[in-house]
Amino acid sequence: MNNIAVVLSNVRKIYNKATVVDDLSLTIEEGEIFGLLGPNGAGKSTTIRMLITLAQPNEGRIEVGGYDVLRHRDRVKRNIGVVLQQISVDGELSVWENLEFHGRMHHIPNPERQKRIKQWLEYVDLSERAQSLVKTLSGGMKRRLQIARALLHEPNILFLDEPTVGLDPQTRRRLWEIIQDLNSKGMTIVITSHYMEEVEFLCGRSGNGKPGRIGIMEAGKLIELGTLDLFRDKYGKAIALKQKGDRLESQFFSDSIAANDYLDSLDDKTGVMIRDSNLEDIFVELTGHQLN
């Protein structure tokens, strides 16, 4: 049996008398890549904040890397790396100085600290910008710097909250490669994203050799959990789409044969499209929302 990296057991979080995470339970295996999805207000960001010790649950138990987030907060923080959606590196410091500061905060001694800074800058292709002020970097470079900083203290679990938002397609693909490579080396990855194709791509195969799982939240609850293949087996591998006014109506089918049989049965086939179902189709079916 694989070891468990993350445990949430009957977790509840209340803000201003409103329950934003409601009796949430799930586990994430070591070496797994796990995608957490949900429309705005679903509770996924609050869940991530509790996992990285920035918020405390009102009820329930959370363990990260084998440590309770309430009783062993410092040990949890030493065991995780975090890349938040907001750019959180200091623009007035150089690339190297940002990592130097982070390394000292984690009490990484010299010369090990210098060795790691050099290693991770090479890994994210920023060696040539080591002395550049961060404010002169592009958005993609700043995100890569955030990843290098998150990895400097060699965590076992990496949390990525909307890591590629606002980036151009080429830069996003480069970050996907970095994330997949880290996972292939055994690092547990937990990611939230509004890009459906991003989650499909990254959760296609975990570092542990199995497909990564996806959890979908709505109104504070986990409403679906599994791999994309399991979702498609459950809801349908094919879909028929038809534009009606300003809405896109959809109907799932077990496979493309069944979907095409349905199409053949229609007297009016105008505007009807048959294709394979994807994660966004299933997300919309479950929540009634499109993420982007």
Please list the rounded mean pLDDT of every run of 10 residues in the chain (292 residues): 88 94 96 94 93 96 96 95 89 96 94 96 95 94 94 95 88 91 94 92 82 94 96 96 86 95 90 94 86 48
pLDDT for residue 2: 64
pLDDT for residue 290: 59
CA 265, distance to chain mean position in Å, is 41
pLDDT for residue 248: 85
pLDDT for residue 168: 87
User: Cβ(81)–Cβ(151) under 8 Å?
Assistant: yes
Query: Where does 106-246 have alpha helices with state H?
Result: 112-123, 139-151, 169-184, 196-202, 228-235
CATH class, 4-227 region: alpha beta
Residue 136 in tokens: 């002169």
Residue partners of 219: CB distance under 8 A and separation at least 6: 22, 41, 42, 43
- Per-residue exposure over 70-102, b if at least 16 CB sit within 10 Å of its own CB, e if not: eebeeebbbbbbbbbbeeebeeeebbbbbbbeb
- Cα separation, 38 vs 44, whole angstroms: 6
Residue partners of 89: CB distance under 8 A and separation at least 6: 98, 134, 142, 145, 146, 149
Q: What stretch of H or E contains 219?
A: none
Query: Where does 29-111 have alpha helices with state H?
Result: 44-51, 73-79, 95-105
| Closest residue by Cα to residue 15 from 220, 253, 263 | 220
Residue range(s) of every CATH 3.40.50.300 domain in the chain: 4-227
Q: Is the dihedral of CA 45, 51, 53, 58 positive or negative?
A: positive
Q: Output the pTM of the full model.
A: 0.91
- Cα separation, 42 vs 218, whole angstroms: 5
The DSSP code sequence of 93-111 is SBHHHHHHHHHHHTTPPTT
